[in-house]
């Protein structure tokens, strides 16, 4: 019985240590590609993209005008308005108001009766 307990404690402790180490090794805020993006660039183009546009990349610049509850927000650019889903971990501590211009990268989430954007990253545009 003691052998099983020691083995379980050793395995569990190793898993925790490896998990804690892994979380400190790679940080999404450390960097990545900075250059042109081959993506749909306006809300109007997203809405006009058609029924086979699910998962197509988008790169939009505009304003988050309101929270719709949970992780859903209303996004607006010069061409239109669309709902976007931004997971809590994508904010990285950034504070945004309806007057803050932001750039979002994500993909189209096309359903039968609605279209949203699933946001992969968001940054404040100066």
**CB-based contact 76:88 (threshold 8 Å):** no
Secondary structure of residue 124 in the 3-state scheme: strand
* Weakest-pLDDT range from 20-29, 78-87, 97-106, 113-122: 20-29
DSSP secondary structure of 63-110: EEEEEEETTEEEEEETTEEEEEE--GGGSTT----TT-EEEEEEEEEE
Q: What is the pLDDT of residues 6-36, one digit of tens each?
A: 444 444 444 444 444 344 344 455 677 777 7
For every residue of 25-60, which 3-state class applies, written as one string? HCCHHHCCCCCCCCCECCHHHHHCCCCCCCCCEEEE
Task: For the chain, give every domain's residue range.
Answer: 43-124
Fold of the domain built from segment(s) 43-124: OB fold (Dihydrolipoamide Acetyltransferase, E2P) (2.40.50)
The average pLDDT across 44-54 equals 88
| Interatomic CA distance for residues 67 and 49, integer angstroms | 25
CB atoms within 10 A of CB 125: 10
pLDDT score at 29: 55
Shortest CA distance to 106 belongs to which of 79, 68, 75?
75
Secondary structure of residue 113 in the 3-state scheme: coil
Secondary structure of residue 122 in the 3-state scheme: strand
Which residues partner with 63 through β-bridges?
A: 76, 101
């Amino acid at each position: 019985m003691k052998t099983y307990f020691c083995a379980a404690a050793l395995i569990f402790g190793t898993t925790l240590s490896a998990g804690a180490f892994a979380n400190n090794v790679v940080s999404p805020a450390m960097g990545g590609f900075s250059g042109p993006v081959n993506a749909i660039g306006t809300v109007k183009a997203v809405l006009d993209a058609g029924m086979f546009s699910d998962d197509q990349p988008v790169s939009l610049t505009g304003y988050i005008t309101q929270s719709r509850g949970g992780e859903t927000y209303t996004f607006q650019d010069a061409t239109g308005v669309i709902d976007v889903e931004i997971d809590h971990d994508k904010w990285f501590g950034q504070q945004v108001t309806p007057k803050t211009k932001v750039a979002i990268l994500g993909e189209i989430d096309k359903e039968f009766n609605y279209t949203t954007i699933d946001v992969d990253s968001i940054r404040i545009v100066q």
